[in-house]
Every structure is written in C-alpha cells, then in structure tokens.
Amino acid sequence: MQSLPLSNVLSLSNAQIAIEAAATLAFAISGLIEAARKRLDAVGVVMVAGLAAFGGGTLRDVLLDRRPFFWVEHAGWLWLLLALCVAAMLFLRDRHFALTEHAMQWPDALGLGLFTATGTQIALDASMPPIVAVLMGMMTAVFGGVLRDIVCNEIPRAFSDHQPYAICSFAGAWVIVGVDALQAPDWVGLTAGAAVAILLRLGALHTGWKLPAWRSGD
C-alpha cells in the first residue's frame, strides 16, 4: 500500500480532502506567523511554513521507512505553500497575527484530529505495536510544530505551554487503536479517533484546562 496516495489509502471523500487541506493550511500559517514574529527573511518564511505543514508526516514516514512522502506524491501542495507564503508576505501584517491565530484555532484543531487519525492508521497498517502506532499518530499531528519551534530557536510550544494539545492527539489515537483491535472497519476508528481528539482540543480551548505542572517545591 506504500505507493498509494494518502487519499486512496484512507478512501477520503471530497469533504475530508477539503478538511485536510484546511488543516494543512492552518499548520502552514502557524509556521508563517512564527517566522514573521522572528523576522525571518522570505526563504525562512517558506521553509518554516513548510516544516510546520509537512514536517510531522515526513518524520513519521522516515521512521516507518515509507515512501513516497505526501509532498512528493502530491507536489502541487508545495506550489500552494509557495503561493500562500508570497501572499502572506504581501498582505499579512503584525496587527493581523492575533486575529489570524484566533481564526486558525478551528482548522488547527481539525488538523490535530485528522493527522492523528491518518498517522495512527498508517502505522497500524505497517504492523506497528499499539503504543508505537499511537506515538506515530501524535508525531504526525504535533511534530510539524515541534520542528517549527526548534528552527525558530524556541522550546517547542507543544512541550512547554501546559495546554492540552498532544494529549488530545494521544487520546484520539488510542480510540483508533482500540477500534482496530475490535476488527471494525477502518473508517469507524478513523472517524471516532479524529472526533475525540478534535472535541478534547476544542473543549480544552473553551475551558482553559491546564496540564499538571511539575511541582517544584518540597
């Protein structure tokens, strides 16, 4: 199955493709804004946006020894990314950042759920043990942002901001692994897992729930 495009493997409908496109866009924009905040140049903006959008899935595929990458099979996305960055450099200004980030919370949460679902399923198809499949799902969803922050010389936000993000992905991935163990059709697990991750993330944003902090004291 390794040479089929992602959309075939998962029998994505048009609606799903639209959501996945929105999610990739949200991830790319997170990279773009971080690059702009750090005053990177045009090359840096494109690179960091690309890392944020495609870094997680690429790292997963390198670890699973899986080719071709999504952005090799569908190279059109790289053109889209270039166009997005050029448009952003022309029209996006500092005063738009807060607004843009707020508007991106929904597609970002969708992306978290969808990339968790596809990443976990791909790892299960490659016969990975359950906890490894969960880790791969999380990595797909979260490590684009981690690589973005490392290149921008920051401690990854996903590891340090005490807001539930990777943990929502973690929960959703376990749902997929559980449904898979019950031998239900793939789409049941994918839908349920993505839904759990997305709802947890939106719930966390809404309630301001915090991850437990390290208690430094006695």
Q: Which positions lie near its own copies, rule CB under 8 A? A: 35-36, 38-45, 47-48, 58, 62-63, 65, 67, 69, 71-72, 75, 78-79, 89, 93-95, 128-132, 135, 146, 150-156, 158-162, 165-167, 211-218
Q: How far is the CB of 108 from its own copies (least distance, A)?
A: 16
Quick count: other Cβ atoms within 10 Å of Cβ 164? Answer: 19
Q: Which is nearer to its own copies, 19 or 48 (CB)?
A: 48
CA dihedral sign, ordered 156, 72, 26, 164: negative
C-beta of 13: minimal distance to its own copies in Å? 26
Q: Which is nearer to its own copies, 19 or 122 (by Cβ)?
A: 122
Among residues 122 and 166, whose Cβ is nearest to its own copies?
166
Alpha-carbon 5 to chain mean position: 18
Minimum distance from residue 186 beta carbon to its own copies (Å): 21
Closest distance of CB 5 from its own copies, Å: 13
Closer CB to its own copies, 17 or 42, in the complex: 42
Q: How many CB atoms lie within 10 A of CB 112?
A: 29
| Nearest CB to its own copies, comparing residues 36 and 190 | 36
Which residue number, 10 or 33, has a Cβ lying nearer to its own copies? Answer: 33
